Structure 1
Amino acid sequence: MRKPELLAPAGNLEKLKFAVLYGADAVYIGGQRFGLRSKAGNFSCEDMREGVEFSHAHGAKVFVAANIIAHNDDFAGMEEYFRTLYDIGIDAVIIADPAIIDVCRQAAPDLEIHLSTQASTTNWQAVKFWADEGIKRIVLAREVSLQEIREIKQNVSVEIEAFIHGAMCISYSGRCVLSNHMTNRDANRGGCAQSCRWQYDLFEEVEEQTDELPLFAEGDDAFTMSSKDLCMIEHVPEMIEAGVDSLKIEGRMKTAHYVATVVNAYRRVIDAYCENPKEFRFRPEWMDEILKAANRPITTAFYYGAPTAGDQIYGLPPKMAKYEFAGLVLDYDETAGIATIEQRTRFSVGQEVEFFGPKRENFKQVVTAIWDEEGAALVDANRPLQRVKLKVDRPVQPYDIMRKGEGILSLAGRP
């Protein structure tokens, strides 16, 4: 069974390391220019070098998004930027604008180019055009169905990348100017203000009246243009069978906990299916993991037909239990059964926590005691990045995550 690449987002160097350690075959990052996530942490050249070294040491690749829709004044320094990426060892760049593709080819002819989803590629003829232009991989528009992916792979021999998880844009392939209008922040040059997810009142214009009539009564739920989040974890086999070469997770602005949780869950599904497709059975705990990282209800978006009202968020979304990154395992004393933890959010004696990691089954326990680095007993770990020790019920290892939550998530809001 051909195993597809699992491609994960990395908004900064720490998230890159979590993505790789928790099972990503490749990560995509943004530099400090020319990308569509200007508010993400993004990478300096020094961070890129460290990220490439770390990823390559673990058998993973690093791609850089340079996918703005460029205006005339965006090209200054672009040639030097691509030459720097090539010298650093970046494996590929993700580009949407044909002019930027030309600049990259001239500046760094051996740097692999992937066509961004922002190019809105939705049919096999367009895929063939870009393949004939020498583009190594096409990241399909999010409006493409599974059947259309099958037809593309039947007609064109080129790598196909498709989103399997994450936020969906309400506008066609992200070609939105609502943020520009509302905030003067250009969504297609990296400044999207997520205006579609704001809450709005609606009004009806009435002839011969100077005032507009509100369509909502006081106390009604506000209107949004917000989409549910894409989640294809139950449909990974169909994505693989359709011929998708790279399964992409959205979320460079998400937390490290989100990246680790989602990557870990998809890694397990992909490996289980590819190991034995005929005997594969989807395990409910994989979906439970995904929901622990979710902050919106989920949908399959365009993969099985055009979305309906059921794929949008109207009014208040279903309540989702909140899970937080409580601590990062730094070390484990096997003889004493004590872990050294770096605190990320406050946790206390008597609180139930859950440990998970890339090479273990999850386990829950109650925190029975906490000690500081000098051995003094603590009631709680309440200082950011505080290093503490606590007794753990099972062996753990560095980069395992300890999280705290509010119980099991409801499946309310699923399509």
Structure 2
Amino acid sequence: MRKPELLAPAGNLEKLKMALIYGADAVYMGGKAFGLRAFSDNFGQDDMRQGIAFAHRLGKKAYITINIFPHNDDLAALPDYIRDVAAMAADAIIVSDLGVYRIARQAAPGLPIHISTQANCTNWATAQFWQELGAARIVLARELSLREIGLIRQKVNVELEAFVHGAMCMSYSGRCLISNYLTGRDANRGECAQPCRWQYHLMEANRPGVYLPVMEDDRGTYIFNSKDLCLLTHLPALVASGLNSFKIEGRMKSVHYVATVVKVYREAIDSYASSPVDFHIRKCWLEELQKVSHREYTTGFYFNKTSAQDQIYTSSSYTQTHDFVGLVKEYDPVSGLAVIEQRNNIKVGEEIEIMQPGQENFRQRITQMVDTGGIPIAVAPHPQQLVTMPLSRPVVPYSMLRRPEKTEPSHE
């Protein structure tokens, strides 16, 4: 079988590297303008150039998001920006707007164009239109069922991509005006304030200032708050649908999230490709997806229309079972010592789990730590503090240290 591409989010250069090292075939990232994630770190020109070059050194691909719905004032700088992206040898750009598509064709005729999910491609006729226009790939709307995707696949030869994991937008393929109305931040130009995750009250017109609670139970309700998408358990059906690319959402998610989710889907795709008949979902994969910050999981629109069961009415908080506490920078196989960059307060005596690309996880206790001055320490409390500690097995750079969570639900 031809393996589908595993496409991962890259909110900054570190996340890009982690996604590719942990098994993604390609990454998608945004610059400082023209993308729909204005509040992620995003990429300056130098970082974008480095990121594309890093992907290519690994034999992988990098796509650049230019998927805002621009107003007139946005267009003046767009042709030069597209030419710059093409000069960096980006593998494709991702666009939503027909005007941006037209400008891209004029500014960089040889640059492949992917059609964003924001363009709302929900049927085969629209897919044929984009194919006739010369698009290299269509990112299908999230509202499609697996059956509908299969029919589109039969009708077009263009590459098809779909989201398989991550946060779900309550509005139609992200075309939302709530943020703009309530905060002045335009979701369709990259500034969504995520008001769908807020808690709401009802106010009667003749009683201003009197807020009536909208309640599912005594904790209130979050009436727009969708569960997260997870299609890991339906991997064979996704492959059979003819999708060319499986996309993970999350350019604003953490390094830990990106590396963990990518590793799980990488292992699952490879396992299925090696022996489809014997394929089964491993318990450890499902456990891994609980370790990262997430909401409860759903299959979205893939198998049925969404219902109340696909919403979370009690909280907007994320849950996770483990905290990311350190990143391996160096490892000496002779001494068994690793240099760790601290990412969360860690102490001698704590049990940690080590996750590394392409290897099984393992657990151990921290028996000792030494700071950069060679002084033994009992705790590493400072952000990105460098410490040296013995590890019970060999590791590679970019391995991650984590521990069972002891704190309240995160808001990552």
TM range (shorter): over 0.9
Structure 2 match to 1:101: 101
Structure 1 match to 2:302: 303
Assess if the C-alpha contact under 8 Å between 1:167 and 1:250 holds in 2: yes
Assess if the C-alpha contact under 8 Å between 1:224 and 1:315 holds in 2: no
Q: Describe the shift of the 1:367–1:211 C-alpha distance in structure 2 as closer, same or farther (beyond 3 A).
A: closer
Count residues with an aligned counterpart.
Answer: 406
Secondary structure of the corresponding residue to residue 201 of structure 2: coil
Structure 2 match to 1:39: 39
Secondary structure of the corresponding residue to residue 279 of structure 1: coil
Q: Matched residues in 2 for 1:131 and 1:36: separation?
A: 24
Assess if the C-alpha contact under 8 Å between 2:200 and 2:214 holds in 1: no
Structure 2 match to 1:110: 110
Q: Matched residues in 1 for 2:352 and 2:199: separation?
A: 34
Residue identity in the other structure for 1:165: H
Residue identity in the other structure for 1:28: Y
Secondary structure of the corresponding residue to residue 84 of structure 1: helix
Residue identity in the other structure for 2:138: I
Structure 2 match to 1:12: 12
Q: Matched residues in 2 for 1:191 and 1:16: separation?
A: 22
* Offset at residue 333 of structure 1 (A): 1.7
Q: Matched residues in 2 for 1:210 and 1:377: separation?
A: 62
Structure 1 match to 2:191: 191
Structure 1 match to 2:23: 23
Secondary structure of the corresponding residue to residue 223 of structure 1: coil
Q: Matched residues in 2 for 1:91 and 1:211: separation?
A: 53
Q: Matched residues in 1 for 2:23 and 2:145: separation?
A: 26
Q: Describe the shift of the 1:17–1:368 C-alpha distance in structure 2 as closer, same or farther (beyond 3 A).
A: same
> What is the TM-score normalised by the length of structure 2?
0.95
Q: Describe the shift of the 1:213–1:260 C-alpha distance in structure 2 as closer, same or farther (beyond 3 A).
A: closer
Assess if the C-alpha contact under 8 Å between 2:292 and 2:320 holds in 1: no
Q: Structure 2, unaligned stretches of length 5 or more? A: 407-412
Q: Structure 1, unaligned stretches of length 5 or more? A: 408-415
Does 2:368 correspond to 1:365? no
Structure 2 match to 1:170: 170
* Offset at residue 144 of structure 1 (A): 0.5
* Offset at residue 275 of structure 1 (A): 0.8
* Offset at residue 242 of structure 1 (A): 0.5
Assess if the C-alpha contact under 8 Å between 2:357 and 2:399 holds in 1: yes
Residue identity in the other structure for 1:70: P
Structure 1 match to 2:222: 223
Residue identity in the other structure for 1:276: S
> What is the TM-score normalised by the length of structure 1?
0.94
Say what the alpha-carbon RMSD is for the aligned residues: 1.9
Q: Matched residues in 2 for 1:192 and 1:210: separation?
A: 27
Secondary structure of the corresponding residue to residue 354 of structure 1: strand
Q: Matched residues in 2 for 1:213 and 1:396: separation?
A: 56
Secondary structure of the corresponding residue to residue 227 of structure 1: coil
Q: Describe the shift of the 1:233–1:152 C-alpha distance in structure 2 as closer, same or farther (beyond 3 A).
A: same
Secondary structure of the corresponding residue to residue 65 of structure 1: strand
Structure 1 match to 2:311: 312
Q: Matched residues in 1 for 2:257 and 2:144: separation?
A: 26
Does 2:64 correspond to 1:64? yes
Residue identity in the other structure for 1:235: H
* Offset at residue 295 of structure 1 (A): 2.2
Assess if the C-alpha contact under 8 Å between 2:364 and 2:392 holds in 1: yes
Structure 1 match to 2:410: none
Q: Matched residues in 2 for 1:252 and 1:165: separation?
A: 12
* Offset at residue 9 of structure 1 (A): 0.2
Q: Matched residues in 2 for 1:229 and 1:312: separation?
A: 9
Q: Matched residues in 1 for 2:115 and 2:309: separation?
A: 31
Structure 2 match to 1:290: 289
Alignment of 1:5-404 (within 5 A): 5-203=5-203, 214-216=212-214, 219-316=218-315, 320-404=319-403
Assess if the C-alpha contact under 8 Å between 2:17 and 2:51 holds in 1: yes
